[in-house]
Amino acid sequence: MTMTDQPRTVLGTRLLRKEDPALLTGEAKFTGDIAVPGALHLAVLRSPYANATINSVDVSAALAHPGVRAAYSGADLVDLWAAPMPCAWPVTDDMKSPTHYPIAVSKAAYAGDGVACVIAETAAIAKDAIELIRVDYTRHEAVIGLEDALSDRVVVHDEIGTNRSYTWDLKIEEHEGDIDAAFAAAAHTTKERFVHQRLIPSAMEPRSVLAMPQPFGGDMTVYSATQIPHILKIFVAVVLGIPEQQLRVIAPSVGGGFGSKLDVYAEEFLCTALARKHGVPVRWTEERSEASMATIQGRAQIQDIELAADEAGRLTAIRVRLLADMGAYLQLVTPGVPLLGAFLYAGVYELPKAYDFSCTGVFTSMTPTDAYRGAGRPEATYAIERSMDSLAAQMGIDPLELRRRNFIPTASYPYEAFSGLTYDSGDHDAAATMASEMIDYAGLRARQAEQNVEGATKRLGIGVSTYFEMCGLAPSRVLASLNYGAGGWEAATVRVLPTNKVQVVTGTSPHGQGHETSWSMIAAEKLGVDPSDVDVLHSDTALAPYGLDTYGSRSLPVGGVAIANACDGVIEKARQIAAHQLEASADDLEFSDGVFRVAGSPDKEMPLAAVAWEAFTAHNLPDGMEPNLEHHTHYDPPNFSWPFGTHMCAVEVDTETGEIEVLKYVAIDDCGVQVNPLIVEGQVHGGVIQGLAQVLYEGAVYDGDGNLRTSTLAEYLVPAAPDVPPITTGHTVTPSPTNQLGVKGVGEAGTIGAAPAVMNAIVDALSGLGVHDITMPASPHTVWNAIQQAQGGSQ
């Protein structure tokens, strides 16, 4: 029996978060808050040049600076590295990846690449001292444009001789030639190019690391503002050659990630290596300008997408060519990001086996890219949803109507897609209908017809996007088929303590998602205890030794399900104990509200609290049973989960100034069963604004020399409260049939749905003026220019 069939008392309630009091009163400790007397402070000297040979590094003046303990060039540190920094996703066997050390040895490959470092008594002294280091560089031309990079006119890494890292293909045909035949026979075709600018993730907490040698035996504890303490532990062991059992990694309170802390970084290795070398704690906290340059950036893709459709607008083939900007090095999963999108270019639509995807990853002289909220899936969704609007415009039909003609029918689920993946469940018409009603789609269209008349300077636009999230990363065997370097399982332990309090140990690692609250709710629902009696242990590899951490909207559909499974294990053990004590058959015991009852004998019962005590004393357990009430389990999901939804957006564009006002935003998200709607809504709100911000505001700007011109929050426009609209949320609930909770996950849905909804609205507003597309971010200047160009005017 799955939980989705049962009456629920805790799941689905808007329980206030356990995390909040500590965060609201300043008691919560982020990495930089942890006071450690005697810790030395690391500062990294960063290359001002995007492509330069390092001829020599002179650290003598820094060494002589009062308060400096040590100063190193990259060459000085080479012996500390047992292996270079890792890329865990070699997407093809012939993928090229340059050697990447925590401090560059012979060449700086982007502006911000570390070229020397200092440890000193205070952060201020360390920062003063790196200014005293003299580096002799020979500058070379930087490579900024992706197509320029592909030409190999200037090669970023001489050691690999080309800027092409890999080309990864996914071609699916029932019969050879189906794709070409479909395009030849199509009643309608579209061909579009979309450019996803580089985005700077901008988690509010900058990265921070504290490495602390332990008093005995060479053990090391590493605190880091990371999403992935478990993965980090493995790579610290590998890169530094430290026996893994001597490492403990802790992610204390972590201030947002959005993928930017789903990585292993130079400073994590530097702090640990130098703490080990000098036998003292070493710490480092990033400045915001360092966060912009030396923490990964996101998106950075050029997409060429072609659709073929029949007379009615039903899709018959899709062809995608992708250029993906790796930046200067491959970070943890850099090359895999486009692959996560590769399966989503048909959106929520039926597509025959006629799909041709090819992606080439190229090196440039810029900050490495990697996963940023959605990681490949927002890009894919943007391309198909923008293209669907182009197709609708070409056919002269309503874009929502075109989508409805292509929706995968609800009755087809579980649905085997063109790619061979099976989509678990969906009801796209229901989500679209709810969104239409909530935003008054028909009313807006009527108003638009009245408003957008010849000469109108305030034009109304309505944007639609429908999406799949594809999350719950991931079935380990599917990851293996994609050459990913690890599995996708999650671990959980549930123990009922002698006094009937519950500990949940999870391998997920939250940084704002509220896992302590949601995981308590799952255990409370299962075990019949109050959520306040459950404590969740996480983000510390000594407390939770197994785990694959938090990213890809995986925590609930993988980690949360693991907890539910572990609770089942506890209940089964408890059932045996209760049966033994009640002298009944275990099969006759029913468990609800925390009490075992003998079916048909309502007076014979034993609460879980009593079972827990019996398990602890072990005075009278069934023969051969081990003491204590604990169950440990690992869960490898059988499938991805497939949250879906419809977002709609209404904007008004001032054609004289190019300014855009978002009038209304409606997000209908179906993430299956909701554990805590309060938290779900929060995830959607934040995700939507990040997607909207890509369309309206954000973009990393590099000049031709490879200098980042938007390295502070004064230049990079992370929107503030007045810059964004309120969000109206709604949801349908289509449980996932692949797990006992019926959950799907929600972390990235908002971001995936939002960008195309907003851009479709803007283009819809201006289509009467001949505007077909607008480059992101759609600043007033860019919008105004697009209007002038479409009208045949000069810029």
Partner 1 sequence: MEISVTVNGVTHTGDVEPRTLLVQYIREHVGLTGTNIGCDTSSCGACSVHLNGEAVKSCTVLAVQADGQQITTIEGLAADDGTLHPMQQAFMENHGLQCGYCTPGMVMAATSLLKENPNPSEHDVRIGLEGNLCRCTGYHNIVQSVLAAATK
Q: Among residue numbers 669 through 728, which ones bind partner 1 (CB under 8 A)?
A: 678-679, 681-682, 685-690, 712-714, 718, 720-722, 724, 726-727
Region from 27-35, 236-244, 468-476, 487-495 binding partner 1, contact rule CB under 8 A: 27-35
Among residues 2, 8, 9, 27, the one that binds partner 1 under rule CB under 8 A: 27
Q: Determine contact, residues 222/209, Cβ cutoff 8 Å.
A: yes
Q: Which is nearer to partner 1, 1 or 720 (CB)?
A: 720
First-to-final CA distance of the chain = 65
The answer to whether the Cα torsion of 749, 755, 756, 760 is positive or negative is: positive
Among residues 145, 256, 498, 607, the one that binds partner 1 under rule CB under 8 A: 256
Q: Which is nearer to partner 1, 32 or 637 (CB)?
A: 32
Nearest approach in angstroms of CB 530 to partner 1 is 18
Tell me how far apart the alpha carbons of residues 238 and 205 are, in angstroms, rounded to a whole number: 27
Q: Which is nearer to partner 1, 441 or 716 (CB)?
A: 716
Region from 237-245, 285-293, 450-458, 574-582 binding partner 1, contact rule CB under 8 A: 285-293
Number of Cβ within 10 Å of residue 491's Cβ equals: 23
Among residues 11, 17, 265, 293, the one that binds partner 1 under rule CB under 8 A: 17
Residue 19 binds partner 1 (CB under 8 A): yes
Q: Among residue numbers 724 through 753, which ones bind partner 1 (CB under 8 A)?
A: 724, 726-727, 750
Q: Which is nearer to partner 1, 242 or 693 (CB)?
A: 693
Q: Is 409 helix (H, G, I), strand (E, B) or coil?
A: coil
Q: Which is nearer to partner 1, 378 or 687 (CB)?
A: 687
The torsion defined by the Cα of 756, 757, 758 and 761, in degrees rounded to 10, comes to 110
Region from 28-36, 62-70, 361-369, 628-636 binding partner 1, contact rule CB under 8 A: 28-36
Nearest approach in angstroms of CB 319 to partner 1 is 35
What are 601's strand-pairing partners?
598
Residue 184 binds partner 1 (CB under 8 A): no
Q: Among residue numbers 206 through 225, which ones bind partner 1 (CB under 8 A)?
A: 206
Closest CA to 774 of 752, 789, 754, 794: 789
Nearest approach in angstroms of CB 485 to partner 1 is 28
For 672, which DSSP code?
B
Phi, psi torsion values for 240, nearest 5 degrees: -95, -10
Nearest approach in angstroms of CB 721 to partner 1 is 4
- Measuring CA to CA, how many Å separate 240 from each of 13, 108, 246, 368, 549? 46, 22, 12, 22, 21
Residue 38 binds partner 1 (CB under 8 A): no
What are 172's strand-pairing partners?
355
Q: Is 425 helix (H, G, I), strand (E, B) or coil?
A: coil
Residue 351 binds partner 1 (CB under 8 A): no
Region from 20-28, 475-483, 588-596, 777-785 binding partner 1, contact rule CB under 8 A: 20-28
Residue 547 binds partner 1 (CB under 8 A): no
Residue 24 binds partner 1 (CB under 8 A): yes
406 CB-side CA count, 13 A: 32
Q: Which is nearer to partner 1, 23 or 482 (CB)?
A: 23
- Measuring CA to CA, how many Å separate 709 from each of 150, 475, 541, 712? 24, 41, 39, 9
Tell me how far apart the alpha carbons of residues 268 and 102 are, in angstroms, rounded to a whole number: 9
Number of residues that bind partner 1 (CB under 8 A): 56
**x-or-dash string of contact with partner 1, 484-513, rule CB under 8 A:** ---------------------------xxx
Residue 236 CB contacts under 8 Å (≥ 6 apart), including other chains = 222, 242, 247, 249, 264, 268, 269, 272
Closest CA to 303 of 350, 341, 253: 341
For 369, which DSSP code?
B
Q: Among residue numbers 109 through 128, which ones bind partner 1 (CB under 8 A)?
A: 124
Q: Do β-strands 40-46 and 114-120 pair in parallel, antiparallel, or remain unpaired? A: antiparallel
Among residues 3, 142, 182, 203, the one that binds partner 1 under rule CB under 8 A: 203
Footprint of partner 1 (CB under 8 A): 16-17, 19-21, 23-30, 32-33, 35, 124, 202-206, 253-256, 258, 285, 287-289, 511-514, 678-679, 681-682, 685-690, 712-714, 718, 720-722, 724, 726-727, 750
